[in-house]
Chains A and B, each alone.
Chain A
Amino acid sequence: MAQPTTVEHVTVIATESLSKRFPRVTALDRLTVDITPGVTGLVGANGAGKSTLIKILLGLSPATEGRATVLGLDVAKDGSAIRESVGYMPEHDCLPPDVSATEFVVHMARMSGLPPSAARERTADTLRHVGLYEERYRPIGGYSTGMKQRVKLAQALVHDPRLVLLDEPTNGLDPVGRDDMLALIRRVHTDFGISVLVTSHLLGELERTCDHVVVIDGGKLLRSSSTSDFTQATASLAVEVTDTADHPDGTGVLRAALDRAGLTVQPAGRGADGAPASDHVLLVDVAGDETYDTVRDAIAELGLGLVRMEQRRHRIAEIFRSDDESAGVPAKGTGTDAPGTDGTGAHGKGGAVDAA
């Protein structure tokens, strides 16, 4: 971090105390983050500043203060050059219904500066890579949501960018379409060698797809660290029990019993990440093999029915939620936040720095 020149060689995106203030709202508040090559997830609730950040990174909106570089280019001065080697897939619909995917993507390739013959060739390649075949000659208006998302991804990849910014690429997709899209995004990096910045509010998705996760909230950096730091912290055990006549709230009494036994227990909560979770599932931190015995004994003692007991890694969702709960306290940086879990010492390679 001390030598900016070396940083620029290993980062695709670097922001330094980047702020964006509108008359009534602060969209970004002194955001300092480095993003390395690979797949990076940008997580934040609606209005957290994700879209504002993307606009600034594309050189389309000047920052109020601070600076940012993309692929080593300054967003304030080299907007056009950045946009030539970056692809962007917006969250909203952006496709005209009355032209075919081929015609549309060819046009967009030319708009990125590709000569006509190269534009056609790259369009055919790219549409094949995103999984559009004979339907690419039909008007886009008749496509399913999944196919439209593929066309949107194709137009972002057609000029062979070095970095793509994907804004909520899984929005509106069914579970299967979502899995396909996530696999495709993973391939964009592993097979095509293109770095990816992908935003989402569905945290479970990013856990599976990303090498690195950046969490922002209210325009501030909450956390930036590698996905493994988020998820490999400690194993945890998901336990679901039935209610009985003696214990109408089986989950509640079990939780109390486990608390007494000295285990760290928390409810799994609603599955914001799409994981099977409900108020009836408890997450128990595994301290060692004896934890399993303790849980089993506690359930047997209470006479509850055990529906399931499965090993789970911590999910980003839980870490994020506990960040949310402490949102009143300004984030001080990595490692000190996320008190609800276990502050994993999140010194990811990018390394978040002081946001306050």
Chain B
Amino acid sequence: MPPETVPQQRADVIHNIGYRHYEGARLGRAYARRSLFSQSLRGAYGLGRSAKSKVGPMLMLAVMCLPAAIIVAVAVATQANKLPVEYTGYAIMLQAVIGLYTAAQAPQAVSRDLRFKTISLYFSRPIKTVDYVVAKFAALVSAIFFLTALPLLILYVGALLAKLDFAEQTKGFAQGLVSVALLSLLFAGLGLVLAAMTPRRGFGVAAVIAVLTISYGAVSTVQAIAWDQGSTDAISWLGLFSPITLVDGVQTAFLGATSAFPGEYGPSTGTGLVYLLVLLGLTAGSYGLLMRRYRKVGL
């Protein structure tokens, strides 16, 4: 064999790294659903996206946590015997921030896939409609829960540092967590349904703000008028018509919260049951509407 052919062959081998088949594991639907969940959850805080898209969510997270930190600092410094804010009252106090966060992140979770038609690539893969909807829903619920539970955790840790009563604080913290979990379910459901109706991100943002925040303003105003006229019954029923007062009503009736309604005329246990049913019904309804929406999208 002529010696000069040998290096030539070798060069060939080095440069031609041919196609390699994949023989490894294919982890199927459940894994794909988890991957979509984690990608969407990270995306809700701008992780894995451009630096610019991290600013918004991180800023809102800071705005949510800052008051909690201040409250804790004051409580520790003044050696107060209770926190100035209830765990359940915190999210109600900062509901505008939660509303804004939902308005910004719900469209980012679903409108983009519709607008850029990436959705057809998802549905050409092992997952089904239900997997997509569940993953996106769960991701946004988790993101909002993180946003609302983190300040509660700060309050709780601070309360323990200030040597407040452990049992009482733990109970309050647990009630607060249940309350923000319900809030996350409701906000995520409403936010996603509104955002999924349009591929236009701007419309999605506006619609979510309108439903979450403006409805709260309207209900509060009407409640204030009812309060003026002394119809306290009306106050406790009016809360059904905006998401945040719905959560307020449920936690007043079942989670030992002090109602933020005018005159603290929150719903009684009986009325509270209606509140709870409406809240769970809205969440389930949102899920149903999302399923219906995506069954039509397809390729």
Contact = CB atoms under 8 A, between A and B. Distances in A.
A is bound by B: yes
Contact of B35 (A86, A111, A118): A111
Interface residues of A, number: 43
Range of interface residues on B (Cβ < 8 Å): 35 or more
A47 interface: no
Contact of B126 (A83, A88, A90): A83
Interface in A176-201: 191-193
Interface string A72-98: 000000011101101110101111111
Contacts of A110: 31-32, 35, 39
A341 interface: no
A115 B22 contact: no
A107 interface: yes
Interface class of chain B by DSSP: loop
Nearest to B21: A160
Contact of A107 (B31, B35, B53, B126): B35
B22 A111 contact: no
Contacts of B26: 84, 112-114, 159
A42 to B, nearest CB: 16
Contacts, number: 110
Nearest to B112: A96
A92, A93, A114, A192: residue with the most chain B Cβ atoms closer than 10 Å: A114
A55 B298 contact: yes
A39 to B, nearest CB: 15
Nearest to A128: B17
Interface string B223-246: 000000000000000000000000
A229 to B, nearest CB: 30
B128 A80 contact: yes
A90 B24 contact: no
B293 to A, nearest CB: 16
Interface string B12-33: 0000001111101111110110
Nearest to A118: B24
A108 B123 contact: no
Identify which of A93, A97, A113, A193 gathers the most chain B CB atoms within 10 Å of its CB: A113
Contacts of A312: none
Contacts of B20: 125
A171 interface: no
Contacts of B121: 88, 90, 94, 108, 111, 155
A90 B297 CA distance: 14
A29 B13 CA distance: 50
B126 A84 contact: yes
Nearest to B22: A160
Interface string B28-54: 110110011001000000001110010
B192 to A, nearest CB: 18
Contact of B299 (A55, A113, A118, A159): A55
A129 B19 contact: yes
Contacts of A113: 25-29, 31-32, 126
B49 A98 contact: yes
Given A90-B299, A103-B48, A112 B125 contact: yes
B116 A93 contact: yes
Contact of A99 (B22, B49, B117, B299): B49
Nearest to A165: B124
Nearest to A139: B50
A161 B46 CA distance: 32
Given A110-B32, A111-B36, A51 B116 contact: no
B228 to A, nearest CB: 50
Contact of B117 (A94, A111, A125, A192): A94
Contacts of A98: 49-50, 53
Contacts of A125: 19-20
B120 interface: yes
A53 to B, nearest CB: 12
19 contacts: A80-B127, A86-B124, A90-B124, A92-B117, A94-B117, A94-B121, A99-B48, A113-B28, A113-B32, A113-B126, A115-B25, A115-B27, A115-B31, A122-B22, A125-B19, A139-B50, A159-B26, A192-B19, A193-B21
Interface of A: 51, 54-55, 58, 60-61, 79-81, 83-84, 86-88, 90, 92-99, 103, 107-108, 110-115, 118, 122, 125, 129, 139, 155, 159-160, 191-193
The 6 closest A-B pairs by CB, nearest first: A160-B22, A88-B124, A113-B26, A110-B35, A192-B19, A80-B126
